[in-house]
């Protein structure tokens, strides 16, 4: 299992205490309806098998320049490093300049210090969603498990269509693959093509989280991780950080740590434990404690770790200033 796959698995476990997407969408819609009345917004994963090429299906990868003059692709995707101190922040490499009406961005995820880049951006409006993934291309095998071939701005692309859903995968440069997925629209295929054709380099957008690991046990990298901002049940921002490593000689399952900083955790009550000078709760690999500002730190470990290790990890978590993240809930 690759490091990227382990990071995605860590976020999958973090999703166990992340609120239901439908409830989040309903809350966002209700909140916006109230706002309009007074004055008259979900990961990781999905590219584990996508970062591959067309030689296996006998189709050439064509990188040409016949594209919209307003569309540019970055010639290289820099691997952002984990800063020595302060908040964790990653620049987003791509953005769409066209989106269907009503959708708002509520998810950004990006890798830091990883051997290969992984990024996700998502926009929602009720059951309608647009998701843009970016991953690394190794240069062997098909880009997608589909036989439908199309072009995006003069580049060979692979399209996978189903009722109310469409996915397009294409190379934006010889080492980076993009995937655009549209769901919840009767004309999803047409919309996906239009959004994909509008994807261009992003020189401004970023994702930033105010929490970081201060200490991790030996074998767990502090310079390779994934960060994310996602919406909570009341539209509040959920901050997440995940890192993972493998010591196959000692552990039967990969060691993974995912940390969330949330308004209210969706975790079961467990054994009382003192952490960060306050009473927290421990239950089956999850340690949670309320921070002084009212929010909660929730640490989840995939492998069986001693409680003393989890307590030290949480005790040494560093919390920085609240990021602006003004993009959250906007187009």
Q: 169 and 211 share a domain?
A: no
330, part of any domain: no
Give me the tens of pLDDT residue by residue for the chain, a chain 331 residues long.
Answer: 454 454 444 445 444 434 444 444 444 444 444 433 332 222 233 333 333 232 222 233 333 334 555 788 887 787 789 998 999 999 999 999 999 999 999 999 999 998 888 999 999 999 999 999 999 887 655 566 665 788 999 888 989 988 899 999 998 988 889 999 999 999 999 999 999 999 999 989 999 999 999 999 988 888 889 999 998 877 788 999 998 765 545 545 678 899 999 998 877 778 999 999 999 999 989 999 999 999 999 999 988 899 999 999 999 999 999 998 999 999 8
Tens digits of residue pLDDT in 210-261:
999 999 998 888 888 999 999 887 778 899 999 876 554 554 567 889 999 9
- 3-state SS track over 180-228: EEEECCCCHHHHHHHHHHHEEECCCCEEEECEECCCCCCCCCCCCEEEE
CATH number of domain containing 97 = 3.30.200.100
Q: Tell me the three state secondary structure of residue 51.
A: coil
Q: List Cα–Cα distances, 284 to 18, 251, 264, 276, 288, in angstroms.
A: 17, 17, 19, 20, 11
Tens digits of residue pLDDT in 171-192:
898 888 999 999 999 999 999 9
Tokens linked to 108? 């950004």
324, part of any domain: no
Number of compact structural domains in the chain: 2
Q: 231 and 199 share a domain?
A: no
Of 205, 222, 244, which residue constitutes the final position of a domain? 205
Of 143, 175, 205, which residue constitutes the final position of a domain? 205
Q: 147 and 240 share a domain?
A: no
Q: 176 and 231 share a domain?
A: no
Phi, psi of 16, deg, nearest 5: -60, -30
Q: 230 and 152 share a domain?
A: no
Please state the pTM of the whole predicted model: 0.80
Q: 11 and 101 share a domain?
A: yes
Q: 200 and 291 share a domain?
A: no
Q: 149 and 285 share a domain?
A: no
Q: 154 and 182 share a domain?
A: yes
CATH number of domain containing 220 = 2.60.120
Q: 125 and 18 share a domain?
A: yes
Nearest to 172 by CA among 152, 187, 192: 152
Q: 213 and 200 share a domain?
A: no
44, part of any domain: yes
Of 205, 239, 273, which residue constitutes the final position of a domain? 205
Q: 268 and 178 share a domain?
A: no
331, part of any domain: no
Tokens linked to 64? 């040409």
326, part of any domain: no
Structural domain containing residue 313? 207-319
325, part of any domain: no
């Amino acid at each position: 299992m690759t490091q990227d796959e382990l990071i995605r698995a860590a976020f999958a476990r973090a999703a166990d205490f992340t609120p239901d997407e439908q409830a989040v969408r309903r809350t966002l819609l209700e909140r916006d309806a109230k706002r309009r009345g007074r004055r008259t917004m979900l990961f990781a994963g999905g590219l584990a098998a996508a970062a591959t090429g067309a030689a296996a299906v006998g189709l050439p990868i064509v990188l040409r320049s016949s594209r919209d003059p307003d569309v540019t692709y970055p010639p290289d995707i820099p691997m952002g490093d984990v800063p020595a101190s302060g908040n964790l922040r990653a620049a987003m490499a791509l953005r769409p300049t066209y989106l269907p009406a009503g959708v708002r961005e509520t998810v950004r995820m990006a890798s830091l210090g990883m051997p290969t880049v992984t990024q996700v951006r998502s926009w929602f409006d009720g059951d309608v969603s647009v998701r843009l993934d970016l991953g690394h291309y190794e240069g062997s095998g098909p880009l997608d498990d589909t036989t439908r071939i199309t072009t995006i701005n003069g580049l060979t692309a692979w399209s996978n269509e189903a009722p109310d859903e469409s996915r397009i995968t294409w190379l934006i440069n010889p080492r980076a693959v993009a995937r655009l997925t549209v769901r919840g629209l009767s004309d999803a295929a047409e919309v996906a093509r239009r959004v994909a054709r509008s994807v261009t380099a992003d020189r401004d957008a970023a994702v930033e989280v105010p929490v970081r690991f201060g200490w991790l046990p030996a074998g767990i990298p502090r310079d390779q991780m994934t960060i994310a901002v996602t919406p909570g049940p009341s539209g509040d921002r959920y901050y997440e950080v995940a890192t993972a490593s493998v010591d196959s000689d000692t552990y039967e399952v990969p060691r993974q740590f995912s940390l969330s900083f949330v308004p209210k955790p969706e975790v079961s009550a467990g054994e009382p434990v003192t952490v960060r000078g306050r009473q927290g709760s421990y239950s089956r690999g999850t340690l949670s404690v309320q921070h002084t500002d009212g929010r909660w730190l929730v640490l989840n470990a995939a492998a069986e770790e001693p409680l003393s290790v989890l307590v030290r990890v949480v005790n040494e978590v560093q919390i920085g200033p609240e990021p602006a993240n003004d993009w959250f809930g906007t187009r």
